[in-house]
Chain A
Amino acid sequence: MKKLLVFLLILSTGSVTAQERHFTKSGKISFDATTSTSPEKIAATTNTAICVLEKGSGKSQFSVVLKSFEFANALMQEHFNENYVESHKFPKAEFRGQILQAEKINYQQNAINKVTVKGTMLLHGAQKEIESNGTITIQNGKIILSSTFVLLLKDFGIKIPGIVSDKVAEQVKITLEASLDPLNK
């Protein structure tokens, strides 16, 4: 009976650890859609992205309110929301995925772990399977996610008007950085 109790205790402890979640609501996401012929930088940043990582399983999720992207130019920001991502119809972008071979990451040891993430990106009412490389940095118990990847606008039904096709890149470079805290619940 004692052995059974100890076994159940170990099992339940393992289960909690496996599902331990870390998160932030101030993840930084920026994108750059500048072409080599564009006279100005077409880029924006937000620092209000929600990021959640389930340590044991490697499940990860990002969610960002599209209107929160800030541009240096007001007209660009209006065009981005009204004509490109149509944020009034599709207010958020989301990624739901899985860190491959997540079990190999030692969260107790300071290190920069190279990882591959695979999952589904939801943007502009369309979804696309994507795979990207990134790092999980462990720094004195803090978890920092970072990744840079490219999205093709046509995969998400976002059309670039002919008049600006030499200025707005079809391939958009996305950069993400999120410093996660443990979810104490």
Chain B
Amino acid sequence: MKKRTILLIAVVVVTAISAYVYIQINRKPPDLAEQKAAYTRTAGALIHAFETNEQQALDSFVNKIIEVEGIVKNTEGGERTEIIVLGDDQSQTSIRFSMDSSHPVQTNAVQEGMSLRVKGICTGYNPDELGLGADIVLNKSVITYKP
């Protein structure tokens, strides 16, 4: 009886570990359309945070899901919109959203000057080292509100 109980526990433990390893190995990156944002900011507030204290902003926002509301400065892409750039007229710094291809955004669906809310994972910051303007970079982005 005791042997059987131990064997049963061992089988359960091995099955649980195998299931955990299998799930971990096959885990896909999160779909942000189904994830809640850790922070919600206006484009101006997020830009201000990075411009005033880059390190503190990196510590706060990198690897976090951020939902940003702002004016579209620019879009880039071919058959679909691959990049959406939000910003404001007060700053050379922009927020660049690399859009999630599993939630395709049609070309021309987003226009310059439009107010938009976009959610993405913050991956880092490119300071203005080359005279091109600084950028906050977000990946796997999805549009959460379009008027």
Contact = CB atoms under 8 A, between A and B. Distances in A.
A131 interface: no
Interface in B93-127: 96, 98, 123-126
A91 B29 contact: no
Given A47-B98, A61-B130, A71 B29 contact: yes
A65 B126 contact: yes
A25 B24 CA distance: 33
B137 A48 contact: yes
Contact of A52 (B26, B28, B62, B130): B130
Interface stretch (A5-13, A73-81, A154-162): A73-81
Given A70-B139, A75-B24, A65 B82 contact: no
A72 B28 contact: yes
Interface residues of B, number: 26
A91 B30 CA distance: 21
A45 B26 CA distance: 19
A23 interface: yes
B83 A74 contact: no
A26 B28 contact: no
Given A26-B76, A68-B139, A77-B29, A50 B126 contact: yes
A78 to B, nearest CB: 9
Contact of A25 (B27, B96, B131): B96
B29 A50 contact: no
Contacts of A70: 29, 139-140
Given A67-B123, A91-B124, A185-B131, A26 B82 contact: yes
Interface string B13-46: 0000000000011111110000000000000000
A47 B24 CA distance: 26
Interface in A142-182: none
Interface in A49-76: 50, 52, 61, 63, 65-68, 70-75
Looking at B82, B135, B139, which has the most chain A CB atoms within 10 Å of its CB?
Answer: B139
15 contacts: A46-B98, A47-B83, A48-B83, A48-B137, A50-B130, A65-B123, A67-B139, A68-B139, A70-B139, A70-B140, A73-B25, A73-B29, A74-B28, A91-B124, A185-B131
